[in-house]
Amino acid sequence: MKESRLLHIIKRRYASKWLVLIFDVGIVLITLFLAYLIRSNFQLNFNLGIVLKQLPFVAIAAIFSFLLVKSHKGVVRYTGFKDLVNIIIGTNILATILLLATYGVRKFNLDTAYELSGSIIYIHLLLNILALVGIKFFVKSFYRSLISDFQDPTKVIIYGAGNSGMITYDAIQSDTRSSFEIIGFIDDNPKMIGKKINLLNVYSLDQVDQEFIDKHELQEIIISIQNIDPSRLLEITTQLFNYNLKVKIVPPVKNWIGGDLNVQQIKAVKIEDLLGREQIIIKNPVVEEEYSNQIILVTGAAGSIGSEIARKLMQLNPKSLILLDAAESPLYDLQQEFMRKGLSNFIPEIANVRDNDRMEQIFDKYKPKIVFHAAAYKHVPLMEGIPYEAVRVNIGGTKCVADLAVEYGVNKFVLISTDKAVNPTNVMGASKRIAELYVSCLKGKGRTKFITTRFGNVLGSSGSVIPLFQKQIELGGPITVTHRDITRYFMTISEAAQLVLEAATMGNGGEIFVFDMGKPVKIFDLARNMIFLSGKTYPDDIQIKITGLRPGEKIYEELLADGENSMATYNEKILIARTKPTDNKTTKDLIDEISNINISSQPVEIVALIKKIVPEYISNNSKYELLDQSKKL
């Protein structure tokens, strides 16, 4: 307790800047005497009285020089390169003043006591630089040593022996608050391996095994490679996680504060860093023009995707943004968030998209010109047990809002769909596919352009595996995974919202936009990585339990259905799915029929009609597989 209190006092106390100035001036006066001593070959054969007479003048000149460069304002324990530059500039200003004073004395025949020889001034300058820099770095080193006596150092290796790695090394070494002790570097360049940098060895990644870790008591790896390929980052972290090592990463140069790397900016690798692909960023100057001064309606606005779409839309200066959701509390939270930001051009509305009268009232009142339809039920196991609700909301709700969009002359209607609509194996995915089919049937009806966006799982969205795994980790495990080989496409909430906004901008009506989302991610690997990122170990601290596929769940998701292919757009990350032609009239009649199902309808009857509309819907691990078998017979 005493040590921690003493450490707290040491860390919190800083020397006064005036005390630092007095100390620096004192060093300058001492070095003046040493300069005379060196000039006279360490013999006291110079006039000591003249030196004493010069001291006040040199002190005043030093004070002026140091105040000019503000070197006294630097915190000694954090002395860095910029402080070193200030000291050099300040001492050179002092030498210049002394040279000018000497010149003035000689030119105007003033008191020769203030005349310093050129050799004394230059020796004095060199001594000042050596003494001031040396003492400040000594104090810094002493402070760092003192702090380390109270806390155990974290032994780390920097991954990357190039420029970025050296900047990281310098940032750690110059930060006295850092507890990192660097024991070496790792690099992928064979020419670097085996060499030394700042007396530290450069290793290859293959050399980092359990024996190496135990020998060096290695605890963390700091990845300091600018523009590292995401797949390579995933490969590196997966290998290092196997040894229960913590992995941190240096941010891109553009994110450095004031152009300088700060140790506090070195953060642990996040789960979104481990998607194995570059984060998708869409920059289109037309987007702002598309939404500026428009009346926009977002259904499902309180959900994960809907709320992020709303946040991004609010940045684009819409005339009015109608936030519609049936969930009161989340919508209230979004309203409060916008109000805290000082935003006012939004209107929250509590309503259910399957309530035709209420929705017509909203369209008539606000007359939106752009609609983002994100309202939907999305949980596969729940909808598998209650197909009536999936039909009423995902199909009926979409039909209601889409029909009103045509009736009220909406310019663009954007449907938020899912990769589970592709070759669906469950009720939820099939209901979303029917929603896609319905809006495609409305193409050419009125002025409304109908656009669909289709993407995979969204990191951090409600109901996704990330929050579930986080909760299971907090409870001590186990993490439940339905199948060891199950894979999913993932994207961040920000990416999903960007896709939706960009699709609405580029869409001309009738398109289904999909992302090039790279390779799918194994859920088992995702779970294991999340355990390591939480500071736990697998399987010692947290175990992973395989529970078996849930009803309607499939091992692999797809972004394109059988018979579909894709067409490129001007953005290489966004593709347009070319769908199979359908009989719009027959499809629309069937959708009209299923939208009017009675609550007394049996689940099997409802699912049978869904399968009639979506022939490629083949149930998996579900009681509705009987319908597929009877169809074959």
Q: Is pLDDT of 491 > 80?
A: no
Highest mean pLDDT among 16-30, 491-505, 583-597: 583-597
**pLDDT for position 113:** 63
**pLDDT for position 104:** 77
- CA atoms of 584 and 619, how far apart (whole Å): 24
Q: How far is CA 461 from CA 224, 465, 478, 558, in A?
A: 30, 9, 21, 20
CA torsion, ordered 61, 67, 71, 75, to nearest 10 deg: 130
**pLDDT for position 283:** 65
List beta partners, residue 248.
222, 268
DSSP state letters, 472-541 = HHHTT-PEEES-TT-EE-EEEHHHHHHHHHHHHHH--SS-EEEE---S-EEHHHHHHHHHHHTT--TTTT
Q: Is pLDDT of 579 > 50?
A: yes
Q: How confident is the model at residue 281 (pLDDT cuts 50, 70, 90)?
A: low
Give the closest residue to 202 by CA, choosing from 248, 155, 158. Answer: 158
pLDDT in tens, 118-175: 788 888 888 888 887 777 766 666 655 555 545 567 889 999 888 888 888 888 877 6
pLDDT, averaged across the chain: 82
pLDDT in tens, 55-112: 888 888 888 888 888 776 655 555 556 677 778 888 888 888 888 888 777 777 766 6
Contacts of 166 (CB under 8 A, 6+ apart): 197
- CA atoms of 503 and 574, how far apart (whole Å): 9
List beta partners, residue 251.
none
R_g (Cα) of the chain, nearest Å: 35
Q: What's phi and psi for 260, nearest 5 deg?
A: -115, 140
Q: How far is CA 262 from CA 174, 255, 548, 585, in A?
A: 10, 10, 46, 63
Q: Which tokens is 226 given? A: 């600018």
Q: Can you tell me whether residue 350 is helix, strand or coil?
A: strand
Q: Which amino acid is at 454?
A: R
**pLDDT for position 1:** 40
Highest mean pLDDT among 7-11, 225-229, 432-436: 432-436
pTM for the structure as a whole: 0.66
- CA atoms of 461 and 457, how far apart (whole Å): 8
Q: How far is CA 544 from CA 20, 418, 614, in A?
A: 57, 27, 36
- Rounded to the nearest 5 degrees, what angle is found at the Cα of 108, between the Cα atoms of 102 and 113? 45
- CA atoms of 414 and 144, how far apart (whole Å): 58
pLDDT in tens, 60-75: 888 888 888 877 665 5
Q: Is pLDDT of 207 > 70?
A: yes
Whole-number percent of the chain with pLDDT over 70? 83
Q: Which amino acid is at 258?
A: G
Residue with tokens 């969009």: 405
Q: Secondary structure of 568-598 in the HEC alphabet?
A: ECCCCCEEEEECCCCCHHHHHHHHHHHHCCC
Mean pLDDT of 354-378: 96
Q: 284: burial class by Cβ within 10 Å (0-12, 13-18, 19+)?
A: middle
Q: Which domains does the chain have, with CATH numbers?
A: 2-148 (no CATH), 154-269 (3.40.50.720), 286-625 (3.40.50.720)
- CA atoms of 426 and 621, how far apart (whole Å): 9
Q: Is pLDDT of 237 > 70?
A: yes
> Are the CB atoms for 621 and 553 separated by under 8 Å?
yes
**pLDDT for position 9:** 44
Q: How far is CA 28 from CA 83, 216, 473, 569, in A?
A: 17, 44, 60, 68
> Are the CB atoms for 393 and 377 separated by under 8 Å?
yes
